[in-house]
Structure 1
Amino acid sequence: MLEIAERLIGRGYELAIYDSNIRLSRLTGANRDELIRRLPHIACLLRETMTELADFAEVLVVGNREEFQKNSSPLIGHKKIIIDLVRIRPDGQTGINYRGICW
């Protein structure tokens, strides 16, 4: 996912990231160093909730099935394009333009 984020930013796309597992204050060592090296402005990209991400994004790239299933309710009723990298299989959520790739 880091590679995808780098490429999208490099091509001029505005980007936001939501992942409940990423909290800069909790990251240490090599993991933090690598993240900061590859995305030095990561703090500006992180969103605290899926609702914040849904308000920002037109397209969502999903790379964590469990995270999406647990936190996707704010997307219901939003007209979003979802690029699924992990086979989430949305359950007929209205307004979703869904594309599964790479699986």
Structure 2
Amino acid sequence: MRKFLPLIAALPLLSGGCIAKTAWDVATLPVKAGSQVVDWSTTSQEEADRNYGKKMREKEAREGKERRKHEKECRKHPESCGDYDGYRASDPN
């Protein structure tokens, strides 16, 4: 038993504060978890801007595709061709 006494005495020094850090992590875990839930449930302005940009690019791609289709039909049947009245990306719909 006396052989192990110096080792037992040096154990707190060897652990390097791991016990204190673990206790701190356990104590702050509910706060961190609550913060993460709030972060997941809300949308940041950056994320909202990114989503809006993506939505507008998709709308513009759709409008471009429909305009090309309209122009192709106009080349095939110029007598029945009028102004483009199809989908517009700037419409709020």
Provide the TM-score with structure 1 as the length reference.
0.17
Q: Which has the larger radius of gyration?
A: 2
Which structure dedicates a bigger proportion of its chain to helix? 2
Provide the TM-score with structure 2 as the length reference.
0.18
